[in-house]
Amino acid sequence: MYLLWLRIAAILYGIASLSAFRAVFGHRSVWRRICLPISVAAWLFHVVSAVEMLVLAHRWMPVGMHEVQSILALLIVTVFLVIALRYRTLSFGIFALPLAFLLVVVPTLGPDRHTFSSPVIRSGWLLLHITALLAAYAALIFSLLASLFYLFQERRLKSKRSPGFLNWLPPLDTMDQIAQKTLVLGFHCMTIGLFAGSIIAQESVGPAYFADPKIWLSFVMWGLYVIMLFVRRSTGLRGRRAVYLSSAVFVVMLCVWAANLLSSVHRFSAP
């Protein structure tokens, strides 16, 4: 049954994506009115689907790529909804909603074939580790988006030509606040996630775990994150340089994500 809810959520994400584009680039206010309710409806179906999926599996942790993608999409939409309600802007929807749609398309095809069962996946630490890191990824995506929007709006205001196709960009101050707050949220989530991961690693693998490239990259990302936060906070860094910093962390984040392929210990296989 959870697949049905997920498929409905995917269809609604598709419609919400279209309405977000029409709301941001079009003139008719009807799209602005329907975009948020459709997104909320899609999110609710998605939550029901995720809960049912995990209850059926008798665990609270997403296992396998399909489940992780689905949960990441859910977190991205959650952040989008919080931003839309708090800052009254749908601009992030033109990226967040299609991204959520694309992320859930594959999971709607069926359960992941390459799944595994291990007693570890019922560990609370592991659940905390994965959920916190996924939330950090979602927050970082929004921080990067907000920084990019800031850059475009800054360029637009400085050029004084006011191209109409960029009218939808939110004010600079709004994007600065979103970029800062999502960055701080992402940092907290990442710290919690890495801390939980370290405890699990100490208990299950021992010091050898920390020689793995995936783990190294994770700590490099955390280090960069700390630097970025420090620089932004101490100098009030905005605009182009802020985008460079956010982009650097984002690229490392993608590397960390991709490093699963290289990792020898960051794998869970059935005993």
Partner 1 sequence: MKILLTGLNHKTAPVELRERLAIAPEELAGETRALISHPGIREGLILSTCNRVELLVCYDGSEPELASYLNERFAVDSQSLQPHLYQHRESEAVLHLFRVAASLDSMVVGEPQILGQVKQSYAAARSVGAVGGNLERLLQGAFSAAKKVRTETQIGASSVSIASVAVDLARKIFGSLEGKRVLLVGAGKMSELAARHLMQHGAGSLLISNRTHERALSLAQKFKGHVVRFDDLHERADEADILITSTGSPEFIFRTQHAQQFLHRRRNRPMFIIDIAVPRDVDPEINRLDGIFLYDIDDLQSVAVSNLSDRGREAQRAEEILEQELARYQRRIESLDIVPALVDLQAVAEDIRQAELRRAQSRLQSLTPAQQNAVEVLTRGIVNKFLHQPLRVLKAAAREGDLVTVEAIRAAFGFNGSRNETDISLTHTAETANLSDEPAMTTTRDDHD
Decide whether 32 or 59 has the Cβ nearer to partner 1. 32
CB nearer to partner 1: give 122 or 156: 156
- Residue 150 contacts by C-beta under 8 Å, 6 or more apart in sequence? 172, 175, 176, 179, 238, 239, 242, 243
- Alpha carbon 225 to its chain's center: 16
Query: Measured from the CB atom, is 27 or 113 closer to partner 1?
Result: 27
What is the smallest separation between the CB atom of 204 and partner 1, expressed in angstroms?
Answer: 45
Binding positions for partner 1, 96-125, rule CB under 8 A: none
CB of residue 155 to partner 1, shortest distance in Å: 11
Position among 27, 58, 113, 114 found at the interface with partner 1 (CB under 8 A): 27
CA angle 1, 76, 147 (to 5 degrees): 165
Report the SS3 class of residue 156: helix
Closer CB to partner 1, residue 41 or residue 148?
148
- Ramachandran class of 90: left when φ > 0, alpha when ψ lies in -120 to 50, beta otherwise: alpha
Distance of closest approach, residue 87 Cβ to partner 1, in angstroms: 8
State the residue for tokens 């970082």.
Answer: 140
Interface residue with partner 1, options 34, 239, 259, 268 (CB under 8 A): 239
Number of residues that bind partner 1 (CB under 8 A): 22
**Contact characters 196-235, partner 1, x per CB under 8 A:** ---------------------------------------x
Distance CA 176, CA 89 (A): 13
Q: Does 164 bind partner 1 (CB under 8 A)?
A: yes
Query: Interface with partner 1 includes 58 (CB under 8 A)?
Result: no
- Cβ of residue 158: shortest distance to partner 1, in angstroms? 6
Which residues from 138-157 bind partner 1, rule CB under 8 A?
A: 153-154, 157
CA distances (Å), origin 171, targets 33, 97, 131, 247: 20, 21, 31, 21
CB of 160 to partner 1, least distance (A): 5
Does the footprint of partner 1 cover residue 32 (CB under 8 A)?
A: no
Return the structure tokens found at 211: 């020689």
Q: How far apart are CA 248 and CA 242, in angstroms?
A: 10
Q: Which two tokens stand for residue 262?
A: 């290289």
Name the DSSP letter for residue 113: S
**Other beta carbons within 10 Å of 85:** 11
Residue ranges binding partner 1 (CB under 8 A): 27-29, 153-154, 157-158, 160, 162, 164, 170-174, 235-241
